[in-house]
Structure 1
Amino acid sequence: MKNFMIQKGPGFLVCAVIAAISQYIAKFVPQIGAALFAIGIGVFCGNTFLNKKCFQAGTSFSERNLLEYSIVLTGATLLLSDIFALGLKGIGFIATQMFLTICAAYLLGKAFGMKKKFRLLMGAGNAVCGSSAIASVSPILDADTKDKGIAITIVNVTGTVLMVLLPILTGILYQHEMLHTSAMIGGTLQSIGQVIASADLVGPAYVPTATIFKIIRIIFIVLVAYAFSHVNTDPDQKLFSKKKHTEGKVKTSIPWFIIGFFIMAILHTIGLIPRPLSELAHLVSQQFEIIALAAIGMRVKFKDLAAEGPKALGYGLTIGACQILFAIVLIKLFIG
C-alpha cells in the first residue's frame, strides 16, 4: 500500500479530483455530461501544469485498472438475458465489422505507404480494443517498440475523435434508438473507455448495451491473435504465404475482467446479488469510469500527436471513417 501511494497515488488523486470537478460541472450542463468534461479537463491539465512525470504511473493505473474493475462491476447490474439479447445477428454484425476493419486498415496502410506489421497492428487496435489489442498481437507479429507506440497513439486519437462524433451521428441516423445507437458505439469505438464515454454522452441508459457489444469484440481478440499468428510479416512475401519459421505460439487469452463480468452477471441472474448490492456496484462502477476517463484525457499528449505527422494521423482517421461506413451498412443488414 505504501509503494502504491508513493508511485501511483499522485496521478490517481489528480484523476479523482478531475472526476469530482467534472461531475459537479455536469450538474449545470447535464446535456454534455461528466464524461466529456472529465476527458476535456484531463487533456488540458495533462498538457499544461500537470504535465509531470510523477503523475504517469497513477494515470496509467487509473486508465487501465479502474476501467477493468468497472467492467466487472457492470456485470453485477446485468442479467444474462440482457447479454444474450444481441443474438446471432448482433454477433454477426460484430464479426463482420471487425473483419472489414482489419482488411481496410491493411489495404489503406499500403496506400499510405505503411509497413506490413504496422498495418496489422492498426487493424487489431481499431477492430478489437485499442491499446490492449495492439499489446496482445505485438509479440505475435514481432513488432518493434516504435511501431507499437505509434499505433497506440494513432488508434487512441482516432477513438477520441469518434467518441465525440458518434453521439451526434447516431442522433441524426437513428434518433438515438437504443439498439442501433449501442451497436454503432460499441461496435466501432477503439477502447472500452471511449465506448463508455461516448454512450454516456447519449445517456447513462446506453452504457450497458454498448458495453456488451464492446465486450464481444474483446472476446474475439483470441481469434484475431490466432489468425495473425498464421500471416507472413516478411515485407517481401505475400501475407498468406508460408512462414519460414513457425515456432512461435499464440499466448493470447480472454482478459480476466471479461471473465469477471460474466461471473458477476451469472451471480446477478441467479439472485445471489441482491438489488441494493447491484445498485452499489452500479454507483461504484460509474465513479471508476469517470476517474478512468480523466486519466485517458491526462495521457493524451499534443506533442506525441505532432510527432507522428499528418500522414499517420490521416491514416488513422481514414480507418475510423471506414469503420463508420461499415457500421452503417452492417447495422442495416444485421439489425434492421
Structure 2
Amino acid sequence: METNQDNLQRFIHKFPSWLPGTILVFLIAMGGKAFGNLFPAIGGVIFALLLGIVLRNSLSLHEVFFPGIQFVVKKLLKVSIVLLGATLSIGSILDIGSQSIFVILLVVIGGILVTLLAGKMLKIDKMLSLLIGVGTSICGATAISVVKGVVQSKETITAYAISTIFFFNILATFLYPWIGQWLNLTVLQFGIWIGTSIHDTSSVVAVGYLVGEDVGEVATTVKLVRTLFILPLVLAISFIIINKSDKSASIKGAFPLFIIGFLIMSALYSVGVVSEGASSLLGAVAKFLIIMVMAGVGLQVEWRKFRALGLRPFLAGFIASVFVAAISLIYVIYMIV
C-alpha cells in the first residue's frame, strides 16, 4: 500500500534533481537580499550566507535538496562569472592583470611551500598538506579537486582539505571587508588583495561586490588570472609523478573553461555588441546569482564536521591563510598606488 511519502517521492522525481535545492537556495537568497536592502552596511551576501548556515545546522535537510545546492555552488557560480565579463572591457582586464601578476606568483609559489613546511612541522600527511596549500594559494575547492584527480588522493584526505579551506573562506567573508576599510585601501588595492588572498572564487566575487562594484570587478579579474595557475601547477605535479613512479597522471579538467566565457563576454562588451543597458542588466543578474551561491555555501556548512577534523589541519590552513593574506596585503600597500 502506497504511503504519502511514496507519493511525494514520485512527484519529486518528475522534476530535475537540481530543482528542489535550487528553489530552496533561491528563497534564502531572496531573504538575504531583502535583509541586505534593510541593512546595506552588512549586505545581502552576508545575510544569505548566515541564513544558509543557520538553516543547515538547525534543521535536518532532506537529501532531495543536495543536488540543487551543488548545482548552484558549482554551476551557477560559473554562469555568474561569465555574465560579469559583460561589465568589464578587455583593456581593463589586461590592465588589472598586469598589475597583479607578480603578487599572484608570490602567493601561489609561497603559499604552497609554506603549507608544505607547516605540514611537515605539524606531522600532517604530505598529500593533505599539498591539497591545503593548493587550495589556499590558487582557488580553493576547485584547485583541490583538480589536483586530487592528478595525485589520486583518498576521498577522506580530499574532504579534510576542502573542509579546512572552506572554514577560512567563511572567516574571510566576514573579516576582509572590515580589515580593508580599516586600512583605508584604495579600490585597486582592495580588489587585488581580495583577488589574490581569498581562496574560493565564490568568496572572492562575493566579498568584492559586497565592498563595492569597482572593487568587485578588480577582485574577480585578479581571481580569474590566479585561477589560470591551476594548469601549470597540474602539469608540474604530473611531470613529478610520472618521473617518480609508473603511474599515469590525468590533467583532464585542469583548464577552467568558464574563463573563456568571461573573456568572450568582455570582448562583446568592448566592441559594443553588449550595450550599456544590457551590461547593467547582466551585471544585476550576476550579482543576484552570487547571493544565491553564498546561500548555497552556507547550506554546506556543518559545524560538527569542522570539529571532527582535529586541530592540526586547521593550524596548517591558518598558517597558509595568514601568509597568503599578509604577503598580498604588504604588496598592495607598498607596490600598488
* Structure 1 CA distance for aligned equivalents of residues 170 and 289 of structure 2: 19
What is the percentage of aligned positions where both structures have the same residue? 26
**Counterpart residue number, 1:104:** 114
Question: Which residue in the other structure is 1:208 paired with?
Answer: 217
Shift of 1:4: 8.5
In structure 2, the partner of 1:144 is 154
Q: Are the equivalent residues in 2 in contact too, given 1:90–1:335 (CA < 8 A)?
A: no
Structure 1 portions without partners, runs of 5+: 234-241
Segments of 5+ residues of structure 2 without an aligned counterpart are: 1-11
Output the CA distance in 1 between the equivalents of 2:240 and 2:333: 32
RMSD (CA atoms): 1.8
Moved beyond 6 Å, runs of 4+ = none
CA distance in 2, matches of 1:218, 1:31: 30
1:64 equivalenced with 2:65 (yes/no): no
Query: How far did residue 47 of structure 1 move?
Result: 1.3
For 1:110 and 1:335, locate their aligned partners in 2 and report how far apart those are by CA, in whole Å.
34
Aligned to 2:9: none
TM-score after normalising by structure 1: 0.92
- 1:179 aligned residue (182, 188, 196): 188
* 1:146-165 matches, cutoff 5 A: 146-165=156-175
CA–CA distance in structure 2, aligned partners of residues 228 and 56 of structure 1: 32
Amino acid at match of 1:84: L
Q: 1:253, 1:6 → 2: CA distance?
A: 28
The TM-score with structure 2 as length reference comes to 0.92
The residue identity in structure 2 corresponding to 1:305 is: F
Name the CA distance, whole Å, in 2 between partners of 1:87 and 1:135.
Answer: 25
Residue aligned with 1:7, SS = coil
Offset at residue 159 of structure 1 (A)? 1.3
Please give the residue correspondences for 1:1-336 in structure 2 after superposition, counting only pairs within 5 Å: 5-49=15-59, 51-173=61-183, 175-231=184-240, 243-245=244-246, 247-332=248-333, 334-336=335-337
**For residue 177 of structure 1, what is the amino acid of its counterpart?**
T
Whether contact under 8 Å (1:76, 1:278) holds in the other structure is yes
Q: How many residues align?
A: 326
Q: Deviations over 1:70-114 (max 9, x none)?
A: 000000111011101125331111111111111111111111111
Q: How far does residue 230 in structure 1 lie from its aligned partner after superposition?
A: 3.2
